[in-house]
Structure 1
Amino acid sequence: MLVSLLRRLIQATFVLVAMTVIVFLGVNVIGNPVDILISPQADQAERTRLIAEFGLDQPVWIQYFEFVKGALQGDLGTSYVFNEPALKIILQHLPATLELAVAATLMSVAIGIPLGLYAGLRPKSLPTRIIMAGSILGFSLPTFWVGMLLILCFAVYLGWFPSSGRGDTVTVFGIPWSFLTLDGLQHMLLPAFNLALFKTSLILRLTRAGVQEVMPQDYIRLARAKGLSNRRIVAVHVLKNVLIPVVTVVGLEFGSIIAFSVVTEKIFAWPGMGKLIIDSINVLDRPVMVAYLMIIVVLFILINLVVDVLYTILDPRIRLNAGRGR
C-alpha cells in the first residue's frame, strides 16, 4: 500500500512538472495583455515601461523559470488587473466553486445511485423505462439552455428561488460559506441542480449497468441459497461491487465540475473560479489564468490519489495484486 502510494506521488510530480510547461507556454501564446490594459493613446515609452514591469520583455524560457521559481515559494504571479497575488485571488473564489461542486456531486449521487439500483433490479418495469428516458434527456440537454430554463421557470415565473448571486454567507475560519444560511442554500439550489443533471444521468446508467453485471454472478446465487434477504444481498453484495466503478467516475466528475463549471457560474452569476477565469480571459490576465489552471491540475492529481486509496478500501483484491507485484 505504502509503496503503491509513493509510486503514485512520483508519477503525480512528473505530471505536475509537465503541466507547468504546457500551461505556461499555452497561456503565453494568447494575445498581448498590454494591448488591453494600456490606453491606445499611450506613447511608446509608457508601453515599454509597462512591458518591462510585467516582465514580458524577457524570453519565454526565462519567464517560465521565473514562474517555476516563484511557484516553489507559493507565488504564482501578480494579477495585471487586481494588482494582487494571483493565488490569493483564486483562493478567494475557490470556496464558492467548491461548495457548488460538492452540492452538485451529493445531489447526483443521492439521486443517481438509488434510481440506478432500481433500474438494474427491475429492468423491464415501466418506471425503469421512464427513468432511462429521463437519463437520455440529462445527457442531451445543453447546460446553458437548462440553466436559462431553470431561471425562467423557478425564478421569473414561480419566484421560488433567486436567479443569481451567492446569497448570505457565514464566515468560518475566515472563509465565507453560503450553505450555512437558508438564503445561501436557496441561491445554490438551481446552479447545483444544473451541474448535477448530466452527472446524475451518468451515475444512474453506470449503476444500472453494474447491477445487471453483478446479479448473474455465482456469489449472488450463493447468497440467495444461504437464505439471505434481497435487501441484504443488494446492500452488502451488489452495492459494494457496483460502487467500485462509481467511485472512480464520481471522483473524476467532481474534478470536472470544479474545472468546467464556467457556463453555470456565468449564467447564475455565481462568484466562483469559473466566472473569474472568464473575466480574466477577457482582459488577458495571464497570472490569474495560469494560477487557475495550475490549481485545477493539483486538484485533479489529489482527486486521483484519493480515488486510488478508496479503491483499495472497497476492493481488497487490489491490495492482494499489489502485494504479488512486489
Structure 2
Amino acid sequence: MTVYLLRRLIQAAGVVLAMSVIVFIGVYAIGDPVEILISPDADQFERERAIRAFGLDRPLWQQYFTFLGRALQGDLGRSFVFNEPALKLILQRMPATLELAVGATVVALIIGVPLGLYAGLKPESPVSKGVMAASILGFSLPTFWVGLMLILVFAVQLGWLPSTGRGETVEVLGMRWSFLTADGLAHMVMPAVNLSLFKISLVIRLTRAGVRETMLMDFVKFARAKGLSPRRVIAVHVLKNIMIPVVTVVGLEFGGTIAFSVVTESIFAWPGMGKLIIDSINVLDRPVIVAYLMIIVLMFIVINLVVDLTYSVLDPRVRLEAKGA
C-alpha cells in the first residue's frame, strides 16, 4: 500500500506541474488586465508603472518560473484588484463552496440511493416508472431555471425560505461556517437542492442499473437459496456491491460540484469561490484565476485518491491488488 501511495503521489506531482503550465499560459496569454484596471484617462507613464507593478513587462516564460518558484513556497500571487494574496481570497470563500457541495452530495445520496434501489428491485411498478421519468427531468432541466423557480415558489410566493445570501455563520477552526446555525441552514436549503438535482438523477440511474445487474449474479441466488432474508440479501450482498460505481461517480461529481457551482452561487448570491472567479474573470484578475484553477486541480487529485482508497474498504480485491503492486 505504501508503494502504491508513493506512486500515486509522484503521478499527482507530474499532473500538477503539467496543469500549472497549461493554466498559466492559457490565462496570461489572453487579454490585457491593464486596459480594464487602469483608467482610460491615465497617461503612458502611469500605464507603464502599472505594467511593471503587475510584473507584466517580463516575458511569459519568466513570469511562469517566478510564479512556480513562489507557488512552491505557498504563494500563488497577489490579486490585481484587492492587492491581497490570491490564496487568502480563495480560502476565505472556500468554506461556503465546500459546505454547499457537501450538502448537495449528501442530498443526492439520501434521495438517489433509496429511489434507485426501489426502482431496481421493482422495475415494473408505477412508482419506479415515475422515479425514472423524474430522473430524466433532473438531467434535462437547466440549473439556472430551476434555481429561479425555487426562489419564486419557496421564497417569493410561500415565504418559507430566504432567497439569497449565506445567512448567519459561526467561526470554527478559523473559518466561517453557516450549516451550524439554523439561519445558515435555511439559506443553504435551496442552493443545495438546486445543485443536487443532476446528481440525484445520476445516482438513481447508477443504483438502478447496479441493482438490476447484481440481482442476476450467482452469489445473490446462492444467498437466497441459503434462506437469507430479502432485507439481508439486499443490505449485505446487493447494496455493498453496487456502491463501488456509485462512490466513483459521486466522488468525481463532488469535484465537479466544487468547480462548477458558479451558476448556483450566482443565482442565490452565495459568497463562494464560484462567485469570486466570475468577478475575477470580469476584471481579468489573473493571479486569482490561476490560483483558483490550481486549487481545483489539487482538489480533483485528492478526491481521486480518496475514491481509490475507498475502494479498498468496499472491495477486498482492491486491497489485494494494492499489496501486489
TM-score, normalising length from structure 2? 0.99
Q: 1:312 Cα shift?
A: 1.4
Task: Give the aligned CA root-mean-square deviation in angstroms.
Answer: 0.8
- For 1:259, the equivalent position in structure 2 comes to 259
Amino acid at match of 2:36: I
User: What residue in structure 1 maps to residue 47 of structure 2?
Assistant: 47
Report the AA paired with residue 244 of structure 2. Answer: I
Q: Work out the CA distance in 1 between the residues paired with 2:4 and 2:303.
A: 16
Deviations 1:207-264 (A, max 9, x none): 0000001001000011011110000000000000000000001100000000000000
Q: CA deviation at 1:321?
A: 3.0
* 2:33 paired residue number: 33
Q: Residue 82 of structure 1 aligns with which residue?
A: 82
Partner of 1:317: 317
Other-structure match for 1:216: 216
1:232 match: 232
Note the alpha carbon deviations across 1:122-180, whole angstroms, 9 max, x for none: 01001000000000000000001101111111111111111100000111122111001
Instruction: List per-residue Cα deviations over 1:87-127 (Å, max 9, x = no partner).
Output: 00000000000000000000000000000100000010010
The letter for the 1-side match of 2:271 is P
Identity %: 71
Paired residues for 1:264-303 under 5 Å: 264-303=264-303
Matches within 5 A, 1:1-326: 1-324=1-324, 326=325
Alpha-carbon distance in 2 for matches of 1:321, 1:299:
25
User: Deviation of residue 319 (structure 1)?
Assistant: 2.3
The 2-side partners of 1:4 and 1:173 are apart by 32
Deviation string for 1:166-211 (max 9, x for gaps)? Answer: 0001111221110011110010000000000000000110000000
Counterpart secondary structure, 2:233: helix
Q: State the AA in 2 paired with 1:245.
A: P
Q: Distance in 2 between matches of 1:32 and 1:141?
A: 37
Distance 1:33 1:322 in 2: 48
1:9 & 1:231 partners in 2: Cα distance?
41
Q: Distance in 1 between matches of 2:319 and 2:265?
A: 40
3-state secondary structure, aligned to 1:36: helix
**TM-score normalized by the length of structure 1:** 0.99
Aligned-residue offset at 1:320: 2.3
Cα distance between partner residues in 2 of 1:284 and 1:130 = 46
Report deviation, 1:30: 2.1
* CA distance, structure 2, for counterparts of residue 109 and residue 79 of structure 1: 38
Equivalent position amino acid for 1:190 in 2: M
